[in-house]
């Protein structure tokens, strides 16, 4: 029994003009939609994550409280549950799965919210990392519909440095001959492990490693144990084509790269009417606070509130550090109450 539902999208034409035929959006809901349909929260997934990787932020007494809100977690295209290289039939399967943008993702999510749930207002959109990217897209693509956004450890556009970091991740994964340009029968495990080791230096901050929080807080027995058990263990089970699809989505994320804003990034930021708290991690190595600062300066109704944490990008998820979760939850409560 799957713990999630599937919304059939039919034939979907993407920004690239490729078509995913019989496209699927997998989602999970928490709580109930109110009679006047005004309590919906959208909470998109992050790079390689699936809906269950988001659940740590939902609970009784938390900001995302299912007793009050109807919380929908849509799975990103490429994450293995929504339409992905790993679950799409030929001829668009595996290495032929088309490039998907964050804009594509959010437009399909919008169809779920309007066609399936019939809402006209969204109380809040929030998400971590690529979930933050989708959150910004919600604000820019549907400014009259989205009342509040709280993107955390994410950005409205992939920065050039972030792009380069991802080039390294991709190069490590695809250096393995077993990758075979995506036509592998057996997964390129050497490449997946290499990718994991590359990611390890980026995910947490210098101070995190200096303070040995991998050992003292996360309980690993050594640095090497952390690299193998946490990092390699994280990426090894994942499908490489799925990972590369989402990586492309990330690298090409830009709220203005569509016919509405024609590449005018400042205009797209300025169009976000939602009341916003933009929350970078103070020590995030690939979404540095300076990028968020710029975004907030161009948004009419936004506050910059960095997470004072040495957990790097992982200050934002997935719920590893209780004091970071508390900081985030408090801001979400404040925003929802406003």
Which residues form the interface with its own copies (CB under 8 A)? Answer: 159-161, 163-165, 167-172, 174-178, 190-191, 193-194, 196-202, 204-210, 212, 223, 227, 285-286, 288, 290-291
C-alpha distances (whole Å) from 264 to each of 146, 211, 254 are 21, 42, 10
Q: How do beta strands 275-278 and 124-128 pair?
A: unpaired
Q: How far is the CB of 210 from its own copies (least distance, A)?
A: 6
Look up 116 and say whether it is catalytic.
no
For 153, the token pair is 């450890």
Q: What is the widest separation between alpha-carbon atoms in the chain? A: 55
CA–CA separation, 151 vs 181, rounded Å? 34
Residue 188: DSSP 8-state:
-
Contact 137, 106 (CB under 8 A): yes
48, 84, 129, 309: the catalytic one is 129
Q: Which of 284, 291, 309, 324 is catalytic?
A: 284
Q: Are 312 and 127 in contact (CB under 8 A)?
A: no
- In the residue annotation, 129 being an active-site residue is answered as yes
In the residue annotation, 110 being an active-site residue is answered as: no
Q: Which of 137, 131, 113, 115 is nearest to 15 (CA)?
A: 137
Closest approach of Cβ 106 to its own copies, in Å? 25
- The strand pair at 70-74 and 19-30 is best described as antiparallel
Q: What is the nearest approach in angstroms of its own copies to the Cβ of residue 291?
A: 7
Whole-angstrom Cα distance, residue 66 to residue 194? 39
The owner of tokens 């969204």 is 122
* Residue 217 C-alpha from the chain's centroid: 25
Least separation, in Å, of the C-beta of 2 and its own copies? 34
What are 245's two structure tokens? Answer: 């699809």
Q: How far is the CB of 285 from its own copies (least distance, A)?
A: 7
What six digits make up the tokens of 181?
A: 């340009």
Task: Report whether 110 contacts 134 (CB < 8 A).
Answer: no
CB within 8 A of 303, min separation 6: which ones?
276, 277, 278, 296
Q: How far is the CB of 196 from its own copies (least distance, A)?
A: 8
Nearer to its own copies, 19 or 206 (CB): 206
Joined together, the tokens standing for residue 88 give 């799409």
Residues forming beta bridges with residue 281, ordered by sequence position: 307
Tokens 């749930």 label which residue? 117
Catalytic residues: 129, 284, 313
């Amino acid at each position: 029994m799957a713990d999630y539902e599937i919304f059939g999208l039919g034939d979907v034409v993407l920004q690239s003009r490729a078509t995913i035929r019989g496209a699927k959006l997998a989602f999970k809901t928490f709580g109930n939609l109110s009679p006047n349909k005004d309590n919906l929260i959208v909470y998109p997934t992050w790079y390689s994550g699936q809906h269950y990787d988001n659940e740590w932020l939902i609970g009784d007494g938390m900001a995302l409280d299912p007793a009050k809100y109807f919380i929908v977690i849509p799975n990103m295209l490429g994450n293995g549950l929504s339409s992905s290289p790993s679950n799409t039939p030929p001829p668009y399967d595996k290495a032929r799965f088309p490039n998907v943008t964050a804009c594509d993702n959010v437009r399909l999510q919008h169809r779920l919210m309007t066609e399936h749930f019939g809402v006209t207002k969204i109380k809040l959109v929030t998400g971590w990392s690529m979930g933050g990217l989708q959150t910004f897209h919600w604000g820019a693509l549907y400014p009259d519909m989205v009342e509040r956004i709280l993107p955390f450890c994410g950005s409205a556009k992939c920065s050039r440095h972030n792009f380069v970091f991802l080039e390294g991740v991709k190069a490590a994964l695809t250096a393995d001959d077993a990758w075979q340009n995506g036509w592998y029968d057996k997964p390129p495990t050497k490449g997946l492990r290499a990718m994991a080791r590359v990611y390890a230096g980026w995910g947490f901050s210098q101070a995190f490693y200096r303070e040995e929080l991998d050992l003292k807080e996360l309980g690993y027995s050594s640095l090497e144990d952390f690299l193998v058990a946490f990092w390699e263990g994280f990426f090894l089970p994942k499908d490489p084509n799925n990972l590369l699809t989402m990586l492309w989505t990330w690298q090409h994320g830009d709220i203005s790269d569509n016919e509405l804003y024609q590449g005018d990034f400042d205009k797209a930021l300025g169009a976000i009417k939602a009341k916003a708290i933009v929350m970078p991690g103070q020590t995030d190595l690939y979404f540095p606070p300076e990028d968020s600062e710029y975004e907030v300066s161009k948004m009419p109704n936004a506050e910059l509130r960095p997470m004072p944490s040495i957990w790097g990008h992982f200050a934002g998820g997935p719920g590893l550090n209780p004091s970071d979760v508390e900081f985030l939850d408090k801001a979400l409560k404040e925003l929802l109450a406003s």
